[in-house]
Structure 1
Amino acid sequence: MDPHEVIIAPVLTEKANLLREKENKYVFRVDARANKLEIKQAIRELFSVEPVACNVVRVKGKPKRMRRQPGRTSSWKKAVITLPPGQSIDIFESA
């Protein structure tokens, strides 16, 4: 897979910001078909850093309503990338 297809977007939440600041971990929304090896390779190519670890979580969609019609949000896959001390990803630093 192309690295731009694997990594969809960074996750910018309070919890993700705390992980980034305290533990040097970065959170991304990734393609549901991607595995850990593909995600690590995409991070290497896109950001020129060497990830130490990659943890993957499937986030289940939440039930929602549109007026009286029941529905749910889409399920998605989240990757938490751990970097060694001294390395960082620039897109998070400028945000």
Structure 2
Amino acid sequence: MSKRPRKKAEQVVQVKKPTVEQFNLLLRPVITEKSMALMQDQNKVTMEVHKTANKESVKDAFEAVFGVTVTDVKIINTNSKKTRRGGRYYGTIPGVKKAVITVAEGQAIDLFKE
């Protein structure tokens, strides 16, 4: 008695739409000479993220919003700085949380669409 070949279940890939929380997690790209050099040479994107973000949530949000594979995430907290304006007036530059996101080889995102 021979066994019938079983049909393999087809794997259906469901594309998840990004949620509002994922959009709110990624605030804006950091545009500096250093971040642009990292983007061109090492395929790393620097983004300013929400203060409650962690590595896993940044990875999930970036993959959902931009549709690329993320291999690594580094988180950097910068402290606020006190400044003086005109020698008389004091002010502060707020501290931010940044994420340096490494995108998989062969994939890229276009932050500056023309």
Task: Give me the TM-score of the superposition, normalised by structure 2.
Answer: 0.76
Deviation (angstroms), 1:39 = 0.4
Deviations 1:14-71 (A, max 9, x none): 0000000110000000001111111001101100011000000001122212341222
Segments of 5+ residues of structure 1 without an aligned counterpart are none
Show structure 1 runs of 4+ deviating over 6 A: none
Percentage of identical aligned residues: 33
Q: Find 1:85's aligned residue among 105, 108, 111.
A: 105
Match in the other structure for 1:61? 80
The reply to whether residue 33 of structure 1 matches residue 33 of structure 2 is: no
Task: Give me the TM-score of the superposition, normalised by structure 1.
Answer: 0.91
Q: Going by fraction, where is helix more abundant, 1 or 2? A: 1
Match in the other structure for 1:9? 28
Deviation (angstroms), 1:91 = 1.6
Q: Distance in 2 between matches of 1:69 and 1:44?
A: 43
Q: Give 3-state SS (helix, strand or coil) of 2:41's partner.
A: helix
Number of residue pairs aligned between Structure 1 and Structure 2: 94
Q: Find 1:74's aligned residue among 88, 94, 98.
A: 94
Could you tell me which amino acid in structure 2 is paired with residue 24 of structure 1? Answer: N
Could you tell me which amino acid in structure 2 is paired with residue 28 of structure 1? Answer: M
Residues 68 and 104 in structure 2, CA contact (< 8 A), matched pair in contact too: no
